[in-house]
Amino acid sequence: MPLLADGRPRRERGIRFAGHPDQLKTLERYRKGESDLVFRGGKWYLIATVEVPDAEMNTDPADFLGVDMGIVNIATASDGDNYEGAGLRRYRQRMAKVRSELQVKATKSAKKKLKARARREARAVKDVNHRISKQLVAQAERTGRGIGMEDLAGIRDRVRLPAAQRGELNAWSFYQLQAFIRYKARRAGVPVVVVDAANTSRRCPRCGHTAKANRPIRDDFACRRCGLAGAADQVAAVNVRDRARMTWAVVNQPIVADTPRPAADTSDKPRIFRPE
Ligand SMILES: [Zn+2]
């Protein structure tokens, strides 16, 4: 940030800046207050605050779009669409290799390079998460549906990776994706239901049979009882959708109480008789 001689931030006007078309649109409509100009990693960034009003919540969704998150495909929707898997995975693997090479060196410049790469990698993940969350929310909004996603407490067990690939980044990137889905959904008025993730990858959505043997190999699902077969991540997404439907129905069903209602008139107020 440009500073005055005494260290206070300096006010500047008419600074030209560039940005993603979406960002510029949002900024134009919802900018709030002043922005900060910061210098980071050799570049200037304008950090602006915006206040985007939430859309009215769709309280009567037509259905739910179930979302499964995983390593092969970052997100798979119950409709069968996969969201960006291979590209980012390859990129991360390449980065992991470069990282381990730099770690071996352990020199000052290698450390600096490591830091820069970590930042770049985090930015790449963030971009992908923004794109995926935007697509998912748009899809749900367009079709009048809510979004169902898994409680992330369960995702750690599901995401089993070779030790070399295991890292903070994976769990963290799923949390980020969910956070993005939540706020974009809120903005669009799309309800989000979080469901228990237990057995979503082992349960048959057609007959309910739940078994480890339903997953003969990692990417395939084949029900041992009824024969339903399909891509494992889509089956999981369908299970998430079904749980979201159920959760929504339970939470939103009208309260049918069998306790007697209080008598219509138990007050001490004087009764008013209308003359005939
Ligand atoms: Zn089955």
- Taking the centre of ligand 1 as the mean of its atom positions, its distance from the CA of residue 241, in whole angstroms, is 17
**What would the 3-class secondary structure string for the chain be?**
CCECCCCCECCCCCCCCCCCHHHHHHHHHHEEEEEEEEEECCEEEEEEEECCCCCCCCCCCCCEEEEEECCCCCEEECCCCEECCHHHHHHHHHHHHHHHHHHHHCCHHHHHHHHHHHHHHHHHHHHHHHHHHHHHHHHHHHCCCEEEEECHHHHHHHCCCCCCCCCHHHHHHHHHHHHHHHHHHHHHCCCEEEECCCCCCCECCCCCCECHHHCCCCCEEECCCCCCEEEHHHHHHHHHHHHHHHHHHHHHCCCCCCCCCCCCCCCCCCCCCCCC
- Taking the centre of ligand 1 as the mean of its atom positions, its distance from the CA of residue 149, in whole angstroms, is 22
- Taking the centre of ligand 1 as the mean of its atom positions, its distance from the CA of residue 230, in whole angstroms, is 11
Spatial distance between the Cα atoms of 178 and 184, rounded to a whole number of angstroms: 10
Q: Which residues of 78-91 are buried (b: 16+ CB within 10 A; e: fewer)?
A: beebbbebeebeee
- Taking the centre of ligand 1 as the mean of its atom positions, its distance from the CA of residue 205, in whole angstroms, is 7
Residue-level pLDDT at 144 = 97
Residue-level pLDDT at 10 = 76
Q: Which two tokens stand for residue 90?
A: 């390859």
Residue-level pLDDT at 62 = 96
- Taking the centre of ligand 1 as the mean of its atom positions, its distance from the CA of residue 35, in whole angstroms, is 56
Residue-level pLDDT at 275 = 45
Place of tokens 């003969």: 216
- Taking the centre of ligand 1 as the mean of its atom positions, its distance from the CA of residue 229, in whole angstroms, is 8
Cβ–Cβ < 8 Å for 189, 144? no
| pTM for the structure as a whole | 0.74
Residue-level pLDDT at 157 = 54
Spatial distance between the Cα atoms of 239 and 132, rounded to a whole number of angstroms: 20
- Taking the centre of ligand 1 as the mean of its atom positions, its distance from the CA of residue 157, in whole angstroms, is 23
- Taking the centre of ligand 1 as the mean of its atom positions, its distance from the CA of residue 221, in whole angstroms, is 10
Residue-level pLDDT at 267 = 46
Q: What is the pLDDT along the chain (276 residues), one digit of tens a residue?
A: 556 667 677 787 888 888 888 888 888 888 888 888 888 878 888 888 888 888 899 999 999 999 998 877 889 999 988 887 667 777 777 888 888 888 888 788 888 888 888 888 888 889 999 999 999 999 999 999 999 999 887 555 555 544 444 444 467 788 899 999 999 999 999 999 999 988 999 999 999 999 999 998 888 999 999 999 999 999 999 999 999 999 998 877 666 555 555 554 444 444 444 444
Spatial distance between the Cα atoms of 270 and 72, rounded to a whole number of angstroms: 72
- Taking the centre of ligand 1 as the mean of its atom positions, its distance from the CA of residue 257, in whole angstroms, is 36
Long-range contacts, stretch 17-21, CB < 8 angstroms, 24+ apart:
17/46, 19/46
- Taking the centre of ligand 1 as the mean of its atom positions, its distance from the CA of residue 207, in whole angstroms, is 4
Measuring CA to CA, how many Å separate 99 from each of 41, 42, 105, 112, 164? 18, 21, 10, 11, 12
Domain regions of the chain by residue span: 64-251
Cβ–Cβ < 8 Å for 65, 145? yes
- Taking the centre of ligand 1 as the mean of its atom positions, its distance from the CA of residue 160, in whole angstroms, is 25
- Taking the centre of ligand 1 as the mean of its atom positions, its distance from the CA of residue 226, in whole angstroms, is 4
Spatial distance between the Cα atoms of 15 and 45, rounded to a whole number of angstroms: 11
Spatial distance between the Cα atoms of 76 and 234, rounded to a whole number of angstroms: 6
